[in-house]
Amino acid sequence: MNYLSEEGRSPSRSKIIKAVVLVVLLCVFWIVQPFTYENIDAGNVGIKINLYGSDRGVDNITIVTGRVWYNTWTTKIVEFPTFTQSVDYEPFVVTTKDAAEFQVDPKLNYHINSAMVPQIYRQYRKSLSEIEQQFMRNTIYDAYRIVANSFTSDSVMSNREKFEDKIQIILSKNLGKDGFIYDQLTSAISPPASLRQMIDEKNASIQARLKAENQAKQAIAEATVSKAKAEGEAAALLVRARAEAEANRLKQQSLTPLIIQQQMLEKWDGKLPQYGTIPQFFKNIQ
């Protein structure tokens, strides 16, 4: 009976072992299997590269979007963003025509022409970050170097807009031909210490001159106000004097004989004289 029981259990144990082995094999296959997928998000472009076969290599590149299934053993997916990128580069030094050294701290905004993504990969075969720090940085440096060599140190500071316009023209041309669309370049240009000191001294001199001119204008204005005020007061005094003189003249003209007699009567004490005639009386009163 025990022997039969062992025989009856053997087929079940064998099935369990086979199932376990199958599961292990499936797990191993799932781990090592080459098939996977890549999600190409909006604002990005992917390129599918065949690694084997008669059409292998970068000569057979297909632009793909969305979810892409591929065999990692035979195929490679490289993704490039096509939305605006901003790169802040480390400062570098360029030399002007008169051997002055300017430090430049550029920041570039650009985006990729999606139709030229295969060409970009064929030409550089690097990631976008590597392209930014190698080819694009060298292009920016060369643009500044070429333009700076055509300017003197003074003209760089006094013609900043013209200086940067020339750099933008060169960058737009050299980056655009390889599929990188120039958007904006922000550059902080710092002159050498000696030139900066000269500029500061010049600005201080200009500020002092403007201050002196303003003070002189203010003094002239205050003097003009004082003069106008004095002239006004003098004119007012003259007007008052003329008015008083005119009043006195009119007062003198108003003293008629009748008024004089009235004043004489006001001076009389009421006693008749003991001598002379009435006319003589009035004459004496006067």
91-100, 236-245, 246-255 — which is least confidently predicted?
246-255
Question: Residues 160-180: what's their mean pLDDT?
Answer: 93
Q: What does the pLDDT read at residue 3?
A: 47
Residue 255's pLDDT band (cuts 50, 70, 90): low
Write the pLDDT tens digit of every residue in 276-285: 555 555 555 5
Sheet holding 57-64, edge to edge: 57-64, 44-50, 75-81
| 171 and 147 Cβ atoms separated by less than 8 Å | no
Question: Residues 44-72: what's their mean pLDDT?
Answer: 73
Question: Residues 74-95: what's their mean pLDDT?
Answer: 90
Q: What does the pLDDT read at residue 1?
A: 46
| 151 and 143 Cβ atoms separated by less than 8 Å | no
- State how far the Cα of 12 lies from the Cα of 9, in Å rounded to an integer: 5
Neighbouring residues of 93: CB distance < 8 A, sequence distance ≥ 6: 101, 102, 103, 104
Which percentage of the chain shows pLDDT scores above 70?
A: 72
| 262 and 282 Cβ atoms separated by less than 8 Å | no
pTM of the entire predicted model: 0.58
Q: What does the pLDDT read at residue 16?
A: 80
DSSP tally for the chain: helices H, then strands E: 9, 9
Write the pLDDT tens digit of every residue in 98-123: 888 899 999 999 999 988 888 888 88
Residue 4's pLDDT band (cuts 50, 70, 90): very low
- State how far the Cα of 104 lies from the Cα of 117, in Å rounded to an integer: 30
The answer on pLDDT for 57 being more than 70 is no
6-20, 44-58, 67-81 — which is least confidently predicted?
6-20
Domain 85-191 bears CATH identifier 3.30.479.30: yes
